Structure 1
Amino acid sequence: MALRVVVTLLEETSLFELAVPCAVFSGAGYELTLCATAPGGEQRAPGGLRLAAEHGLDALSEADLIVVPAAMMNGYEPPAALLDALRAAHARGARIASLCSGAFVLAAAGLLDGRPAATHWMYAEELRRRHPRVRVDDRSLYVDDGSILTSAGTAAAIDLCLHIVRGDYGSAAAAEIGRRMVVAPHREGDQSQYVPAPAAPRAEGLAPVLDWAVRRLHRPLTIGELAYRAGMSTRTFGRHFAQEVGVTPLKWLNQQRLARARELLETTDLPVDTVAERSGLGSGDSLRQHFHAALGTTPAAYRRTFRGTGPASGSAPYSAQA
């Protein structure tokens, strides 16, 4: 018997996150239904489009899986009837999945209280602020917490939907859908690799020291050396640094070195060992450890994902000074 999947239409929902579950769950093994969440069965979509569905919220009462796509972040309030229907469906044992900012709808229904939940990294802090009882995971591409599943933004919606297919019908079924959609059935790493690398903070008093250090990341810099250039003792420098920059000097150095390594991987064809040396992270093994800890992926996988048309092969986009 086919599993019944109901996808909710939200007001001004993202068309991409709406299309993903429709594409994944429209094949064999699933019975797909779209339901309106507003009276009248018709709802607005971006670009002046209007979406209509034959079914209303009553469809949720018979669903095996309910998928809530991305919600509009600018003042959207989920209808009380939708929240009641989601709570009732969960109570009777239905699985409920949210895509991207759809996590805000599940959180409003109280379904994420005390649970780990993913959302787009851009919305993670807002989800924490609005719903402090949710254990927000801003790194994972998706989180499977049994009957409640949540995904990060946009393409991570595909990751979660294919993960559901793997659990329902096996890896071969998920791989076949992935081939049809021309996407990988499983991606490496987590969404932290898609967060822009942090720029060097502009701390007024320490700016000259920070600028000096950024130009010398390839060197084995010490905190004592930075403190000397700032004209302070190591202890005083550490205190001022934390106050002005917001992190310890060592953590800041590691952040800048990782940012430099990401830049070199994106813009050059330098070997991983050379990237590690030029970014001050030592060896290729050390670089791999830092990447795994900070980004959940490997330098090679990161390069395959983000390699662009930067400087010519082997060139370095910075001036290394002694």
Structure 2
Amino acid sequence: MTKPRHRVAIVALPGTFVLDLAVAAQAFGRRPSVFTKIRDEARAPYDVVVCSPAEVETSLGFTIGDVAPVSEILTADTVVVPGLEAPWAPQHPDVLAAIKQAAADGKRMVSLCAGAFVLGQAGVLDGRRVTTHWALADEFREAFPAVLLDEHAMYVDDGQVLSAGGMLASTDLCLHILRSDHGQSYANDVSRVLISPPHRVGGQAQYAREPQVRATGPLEPVMAWVLDNLPEPLSLERVARQAHLSPRTLERRFRAETGESLQSWIARQRVARARALLEDSALTVTEVAHATGFGSSESMRRHFRAQVGTSPQAYRAAFRAPVA
């Protein structure tokens, strides 16, 4: 007897991100004709269906009308939920019920980008480790406190539940699933069609933007002074003198206002300044280290990797175009 083909249901909801949906459809669905130059495959190894309660207006404003009913979710072996514009909004109860039932039946559940919010609303994430887009981490933690969020991961494989970070991290996760289902060689061949690396080094931290400093409390003047003097040695004692406070009082007030120590905050600001210089200047890594107050390239590498998840050299290679 012929083994039943693995069925993938992609759940399309109002405001679905077109790129997420397209990545899933391309990774699991019909192969482009150029794939025959790489691998002799008559059909993709999956049957793919797009499910929705009704016609779907996507994030780009056009409508997808060729959709299957939500009940098709229950026939799938893998359920994929792409990201969407307003993931915190309450989703259609029939969709949530079908997703919850599919998870209870042991089906593989996959969220792409903000699609993790939908799985969270369906109640299938409690106690699990997942990721979502780094910019939505605060909203996700507030909505689902029982879920273990790793916002720095490119994707997370937690067994039955798999999740991807930002939109293009969806490609990384889909290739990971192909690798798990059909081996590294098969995933590599699909990556060759997509012109995407089979596995990217590092996580979302290298893409996250440090929020702009908006000090409004009593420490605003001294924080502004620190930012103006980042290249200089900034011990707790020196900053305390500038603030006309004792070191102990400054540290206590700083933690109360920012939630972290003064030196931790200074290190984050130096890394943020280093990222900007690595992207926009021609300074060497050593020169960037001195310009941001780290004192040595080794010190900067240590703090940079801890915060960004990659090295300054790798970060520059990814975020600064080569000079023509």
Asked if structure 2 preserves the Cα contact closer than 8 Å seen for 1:238 and 1:249, the reply is: yes
Q: Distance in 2 between matches of 1:110 and 1:128?
A: 14
Does residue 293 of structure 1 match 2:293?
Answer: no
Name the residue aligned to 2:23: 20
Q: Distance in 2 between matches of 1:72 and 1:303?
A: 31
Amino acid at match of 1:199: Q
Amino acid at match of 1:267: D
Change (3 A) 1:24 1:237: same
**Cα deviation, residue 77, structure 1:** 2.5
Q: Distance in 2 between matches of 1:299 and 1:232?
A: 35
Does residue 169 of structure 1 match 2:182?
Answer: yes
Q: Distance in 2 between matches of 1:205 and 1:82?
A: 49
Q: Distance in 2 between matches of 1:46 and 1:235?
A: 51
Q: Distance in 2 between matches of 1:36 and 1:29?
A: 19
Name the residue aligned to 2:198: 185
Asked if structure 2 preserves the Cα contact closer than 8 Å seen for 1:45 and 1:51, the reply is: yes
Amino acid at match of 1:138: E
Q: Distance in 1 between matches of 2:159 and 2:109?
A: 9
Name the residue aligned to 1:130: 143
Q: Distance in 1 between matches of 2:88 and 2:158?
A: 28
Name the residue aligned to 2:132: 119
Amino acid at match of 2:238: E
Does residue 224 of structure 1 match 2:224?
Answer: no
Which of 213, 218, 227 matches 2:226?
213
**Cα deviation, residue 103, structure 1:** 0.7
State, as a whole percentage, how many aligned pairs show the same letter.
Answer: 38
Name the residue aligned to 1:316: none
Taking only aligned residues, the RMSD between alpha carbons, in angstroms, comes to: 2.2
Does residue 96 of structure 1 match 2:109?
Answer: yes
Q: Distance in 2 between matches of 1:280 and 1:81?
A: 56
Amino acid at match of 1:12: G
Name the residue aligned to 1:261: 274
SS at structure 2 position matched to 1:144: strand
Asked if structure 2 preserves the Cα contact closer than 8 Å seen for 1:203 and 1:245, the reply is: no
Name the residue aligned to 2:318: 305
**Cα deviation, residue 308, structure 1:** 5.5
Residue-pair matches, total: 308
Change (3 A) 1:46 1:215: closer
SS at structure 2 position matched to 1:261: helix
**Cα deviation, residue 59, structure 1:** 2.3
SS at structure 2 position matched to 1:200: coil
Name the residue aligned to 1:34: 49
Amino acid at match of 1:237: L
Asked if structure 1 preserves the Cα contact closer than 8 Å seen for 2:7 and 2:78, the reply is: yes
**Cα deviation, residue 92, structure 1:** 2.5
**Where does structure 1 lack aligned partners over 5 or more consecutive residues?**
313-322
Amino acid at match of 1:37: S
Does residue 44 of structure 1 match 2:44?
Answer: no
Per-residue CA distance 1:153-211 (angstroms, 9 max, x = gap): 21111111111111111222222222211222221211122121233342454334333
Q: TM-score, normalised by structure 2?
A: 0.87
**Cα deviation, residue 302, structure 1:** 1.0
Name the residue aligned to 1:8: 11
Asked if structure 2 preserves the Cα contact closer than 8 Å seen for 1:78 and 1:105, the reply is: yes
Name the residue aligned to 1:280: 293
Larger mean Cα displacement after TM superposition, 270-279 or 140-149:
270-279
**Cα deviation, residue 114, structure 1:** 0.8
Change (3 A) 1:77 1:237: closer
SS at structure 2 position matched to 1:301: helix
**Cα deviation, residue 266, structure 1:** 0.8
SS at structure 1 position matched to 2:156: strand
SS at structure 2 position matched to 1:78: coil
Asked if structure 1 preserves the Cα contact closer than 8 Å seen for 2:87 and 2:115, the reply is: no
Does residue 59 of structure 1 match 2:62?
Answer: no
Q: Distance in 2 between matches of 1:70 and 1:227?
A: 46
SS at structure 1 position matched to 2:153: coil
**Cα deviation, residue 244, structure 1:** 3.6
Q: Distance in 2 between matches of 1:307 and 1:95?
A: 38
Q: Distance in 1 between matches of 2:92 and 2:258?
A: 43
Q: Distance in 1 between matches of 2:60 and 2:204?
A: 28
**Where does structure 2 lack aligned partners over 5 or more consecutive residues?**
32-42
